[in-house]
Amino acid sequence: MSRIGVFVCHCGLNIAKTVRVSELAEFAATLPDVVIARDYKFMCSTPGQEMIQHDIKEYNLDRVIVTACSPLMHEKTFRKVIENAGLNQYLLTIVNIREQVSWVTSDVEEGTAKSKALLNGAVYRARLLAPLTSRVIDVNPDVMVIGAGIAGIQAALELANTGKKVYLVEKNSTIGGHMAQFDKTFPTLDCSACILTPKMDNVLQHKNITMLTYCEVTEVKGYVGNFDITIKQKARYVDHSKCNACLACTEKCPGKGVSEWDESLVKRKAIYIPFPQAVPQKPIIDKNSCTFFLKGKCRLCEKVCEQKAIDFEQQDTFIDVKVGAIIVAIGFDLMDTKPLVQYGYGKYPGVYNSLEVERLFNSAGPTAGKVTLRDGKEPKSIAILHCIGSRDKNYSEHCSRVCCMYSLKFAHLFKEKTSADVYQLYIDMRAAGKGYEEFYNRLSEENVKFIRGKGARVTESTEEPGRLIVEAEDTITSKFMKIPVDMVVLSPAIVPRAESRDIARLLNLSTDKQGFFMERHPKLAPLSTMSEGIFIAGVCQGPKDIPDTVAQALGAAAEALTIVVNDKMELEATTAMVNPASCCGCQNCVRVCPYGAPAFNYEKRVSEINEALCKGCGLCASVCPSSAIIARHFTNDQILAEMEGLMEF
């Protein structure tokens, strides 16, 4: 038997004009279990609140019903009111007779009748309410950032500057990501390395950042505030604690591997650092091109190393790290354009993709910044093809957002560094960012030949051996064009990294149709995911330029901070729970939960819900065939009772 107090608010005349509030209170007093029923002008005012608190004590109330405005307005207010009077905050029900009654009718009879029905429903429900306590868990103050490109670096620095300890995990042997490969960045033509390398150095020097390069995440256990992560430190065969980065080993090494950093345009040594400003500066050995690993001979590096840092016996090691929040910033790949055979990438030596061209422009690249083809000659005529694989139903439906701008950049740089004719074949010119349209306008004065038509095909010229012919339709003049060029630059679609599927699996992240990580809400929560405590930033969330990437990285740092800034966090109280005695083991709940909160215990053969992950939506409770799941505060009993009360009069 409950002791219910009903408090009906006039809200001035807002409610009282259309609902006979005193009659409503009198009606409430007639209902079973209602011990006291009052009406008052402004229930949310201080005297109103005090009235409720006084009655709770005087009448020993164990349930409170406030009949007033919408719960979306004042549920939190009145929860605090009753909590301060010693009652659990979940023993409150709000009946909405303002937004959903008095404001939407002028018929007093109708309004009063409906209010009575709603109140009756609330009384039925209130009888079955149960006190709930939010569980409080400890929160680990550290954060892990996976991916050390510009997004990861920026997020790590931001968090480290607040005093938080950050683990920055990078699968390559250097941090910097793709941005470190670029030459100049649009639209200001800043030197990419000049703006990035100071940040990379900050990361190296920062006392709060633990840089874990050449590492991969292999297992993630736990939940928000308490993630338990296993990281594999891949064998470098160089002991970085001894190495002093003199790089003598790299001079003598006879081994030859293909340079990943230079997009396979040139070879590198087997013991190497990817580029001169790599952080850390210490080399690694690539087993697949090392003469010792392949043939058992050489060991020259070991001989010249004064620090005795070479260690051919080194194994992969595993590190366990505990953190409170995770930021994923693993960046992107360019789509492999070989399957689009019509463009001849991989077939004709004169066809390049955009990252390869960045390396050509880069003064530390394979051609020391000169624009020369693979045979060393300077191209006399260059075609830049937009949208290769992007905006394409057969490959990537999305627009890759940055290619128009970097293609314009390339046109400008080609004009600056060569005397070549430059043809720009585009579908639309997407120049939406700050200074972008102005940059595009500058280009029109640089004698770049813009052709509004997607490059259709690249073939070998039959008339001039070694030259290529680019075919397209100029849709403005409606003319078919065949342009003889020496060099073709493709702008391939930006696609998620191949590893993103593994990361998604490890962290229980969803990916969208294109494979990019899915945000919790496309507009209102672009950096959080459905996995509480795990955030995303940068191109791994979707193609974007550097300013937007940095903005997201800073935002993700703030998001992560909201988790780890406190040493304790309160979990949602209105979570779901499985009654194991009733669970039939169908696993419906496990299949449907968007948050992965239920998990099947294969030994006990019942489902168990991790309350740290549960958001209280109730989907599991409704798909449970044996009614084994208790969706706290919205139990089957409570809802059925409310329905009974609503339909009684």
Partner 1 sequence: MSFEPRILGIACNWCTYTGADLAGTTRLHYPQNVRVVRVMCSSRINPSFIFRAFQLGADGVLVGGCHPGDCHYNTGNLYARRRLATTKKILEFAGLEPGRLRVEWISASEGNKFAEVVEAFTTQIKNLGPQTKLKIPQ
Partner 2 sequence: MTDFKKIEEKLKTEAKRLLESGEVTVVLCYGKGFDESHPMPYAAKAVADVDNIVFNEYCNYNMARYLVRYPQGTKIAIAVKAADSRAVIVLIQEEKVKRENLVILGIPVQGMKNPKTGEVIDSKTTCGMNNPVLFDILLGEEVHGPKVASPYDVLAEYEKMDKDVRWEFWVKELDKCIRCYACRKACPMCYCDPCFIDQSKPKWADKAPQSAGNMMYHLTRFHHLAGRCIDCGECSRACPVDIPLYLFHKKVAKDCEEMFNQQAGMSMDDKLVLVNFRVEDSDKILE
Which C-beta is closer to partner 1: that of 364 or that of 619?
A: 619
* Residue 588 binding partner per list partner 1, partner 2, none, with a CB distance cut-off of 5 to 8 Å that depends on partner kind: partner 2
Could you tell me the smallest distance in angstroms from the CB atom of residue 281 to partner 1? Answer: 44
Q: What is the smallest separation between the CB atom of 625 and partner 2, expressed in angstroms?
A: 5
211 or 597: CB nearest partner 1: 597
Shortest Cβ distance from residue 535 to partner 1 (Å)?
Answer: 16
Q: Which of 93, 67, 177, 135 is nearest to 549 (CA)?
A: 177
Q: Note whether 361 and 189 are within 8 A (CB).
A: no
Q: Specify the DSSP class assigned to residue 294.
A: H
CA distances from 14 to 27, 75, 106, 119, 322 (A): 20, 18, 11, 18, 54
Q: Decide whether 222 or 585 has the Cβ nearer to partner 2.
A: 585
Choose the one of partner 1, partner 2, none that binds residue 76, judging by a C-beta under 5 to 8 angstroms depending on kind: none
Residue 54 or 605: which CB sits closer to partner 2? 605
**How many angstroms separate the CA atoms of 271 and 260, rounded?**
13
CB of 526 to partner 1, least distance (A): 14
For 281, the 3-state DSSP assignment is coil
**Closer residue to partner 2 (CB): 528 or 635:** 635
Q: How far is the CB of 90 from partner 1 (least distance, A)?
A: 14
Q: Give min distance, CB of 442 to partner 1, in A.
A: 41
Which partner, partner 2, partner 1, none, binds residue 461 by CB below 5 to 8 Å per kind?
A: none
Q: Smallest gap, in angstroms, from Cβ of residue 534 to partner 2?
A: 23
Closest to partner 2 by CB, 85 vs 592, is 592
Alpha helices in 173-225 (DSSP H): 192-205
Contact at 8 Å (CB) between 649 and 116?
yes
When CB distances are held under 5 to 8 angstroms depending on the partner's kind, the choice from partner 1, partner 2, none that residue 121 binds is partner 1
| Region at 394 (left for phi over 0; alpha for psi -120 to 50; beta for the rest) | alpha
Nearer to partner 2, 489 or 628 (CB): 628
User: In angstroms, rounded to a whole number, what is the distance separating the alpha carbons of residues 480 and 230?
Assistant: 57
Q: Which residue has the tokens 């700050």?
A: 434
Smallest distance from the beta carbon of 583 to partner 2, in angstroms?
9
Distance, CA of 583 to CA of 589 (rounded, Å)? 10
By the 8 A CB rule, do 150 and 546 touch? yes
Contact 486, 476 (CB under 8 A): no
Residue 213 or 638: which CB sits closer to partner 2? 638
Bridge pairing between strands 4-9 and 184-185: unpaired
Shortest distance, position 123 Cβ to partner 2, whole Å: 18
Q: Which does 165 bind (CB under 5 to 8 A by kind): partner 2, partner 1, none?
A: none
Which does residue 118 touch among partner 2, partner 1, none (CB within 5 to 8 A, set by kind)?
partner 1
Query: Pick from partner 1, partner 2, none: which does 42 bind, CB < 5 to 8 A by kind?
Result: none
User: Cβ 535 to partner 2, closest distance in Å?
Assistant: 24
Helix (H, G, I), strand (E, B), or coil: what is residue 95? strand
Please state the closest distance from residue 639 (CB atom) to partner 1, in A.
6
- Is residue 520 within 8 A of residue 530, CB to CB? The reply is yes
Q: How far is the CB of 279 from partner 1 (least distance, A)?
A: 38
**Both structure tokens of 334:** 């360019």
Question: Smaller CB distance to partner 1: residue 569 or 631?
Answer: 631
DSSP codes of every residue in 459-491: EE-SSSTT-EEEEEEETTTTEEEEEEESEEEEE
> Following DSSP, what letter does each residue of 42-107 receive, concatenated?
-TTSHHHHHHHHHHHHHTT-SEEEEEES-HHHHHHHHHHHHHHTTS-TTSEEEEE-IIIIITS---
Which C-beta is closer to partner 2: that of 296 or that of 625? 625
Distance, CA of 277 to CA of 283 (rounded, Å)? 12
- The CA distance from 498 to 580, in Å, is 40
277 membership: H or E segment, kind and range: none
Strand partners, 608: 599
Pick what 98 binds: partner 2, partner 1, none; C-beta below 5 to 8 Å, kind-dependent.
partner 1
Which positions lie near partner 1, rule CB under 8 A? 70-72, 96, 98-101, 103-107, 110-111, 113-114, 117-118, 121, 510, 520, 530, 574, 592, 594, 615-619, 621-623, 631, 634, 636, 639-640, 642-644, 646-647
Please state the closest distance from residue 635 (CB atom) to partner 2, in A. 8
Q: Is-contact 560 327, C-beta < 8 A?
A: yes
Query: Considering only CA atoms, which of 356, 173, 200, 193 is closest in space to residue 272?
Result: 173
User: Is residue 445 within 8 Å of 439, Cβ to Cβ?
Assistant: no
The item of partner 1, partner 2, none sharing an interface with residue 637, based on CB under 5 to 8 Å by kind, is partner 2
User: How crowded is residue 150: how many other Cβ atoms within 10 Å of its Cβ?
Assistant: 28
The encoded tokens of residue 606 equal 């019942």
For residue 12, give every residue at least 6 positions away whose Cβ sits within 8 Å of its Cβ, in sequence order, or none.
41, 42
Between 368 and 584, CB nearer to partner 2: 584
User: Measured from the CB atom, is 399 or 639 closer to partner 1?
Assistant: 639
Query: Among partner 1, partner 2, none, what binds residue 342 when CB lies within 5 to 8 Å by partner kind?
Result: none
Q: How far is the CB of 507 from partner 2 (least distance, A)?
A: 22
Using alpha carbons, select from 516, 85, 95, 476 the residue that is nearest to residue 328. Answer: 516
Which entry of partner 2, partner 1, none binds 617, CB below 5 to 8 A by partner kind?
partner 1
For residue 276, give both structure tokens: 């001169």
Residue 585's binding partner among partner 2, partner 1, none (Cβ under 5 to 8 angstroms by kind) is partner 2
Binding site partner of 643, from partner 1, partner 2, none, Cβ cut-off 5-8 A by kind: partner 1
Tokens 């909590």, located at residue: 83
Angle (nearest 5°) at CA 220 between 218 and 223 = 170
* Cβ neighbours for 198, distance < 8 A, ≥ 6 positions apart: none
Q: Which is nearer to partner 1, 334 or 631 (CB)?
A: 631
Alpha carbons 506 and 508: distance in angstroms, whole number: 6
Q: Which of the choices partner 1, partner 2, none does residue 551 contact, using the CB cut-off of 5 to 8 A by kind?
A: none
DSSP collapsed to 3 states, 135-168: CEEECCCCEEEECCCHHHHHHHHHHHHCCCCEEE
Interface residues with partner 2 (CB under 8 A)?
Answer: 582, 584-588, 591-592, 600, 605, 623, 625-627, 635-637, 640
Nearer to partner 2, 331 or 598 (CB): 598
Please name the amino acid found at residue 595. Y
Judged by beta carbon, residue 202 or residue 636, the one nearer partner 2 is 636
Task: Give the one entry of partner 1, partner 2, none that residue 586 binds, where binding means its C-beta sits below a cut-off of 5 to 8 angstroms depending on kind.
Answer: partner 2
- To partner 1, the closest distance from the beta carbon of 553 in angstroms equals 24
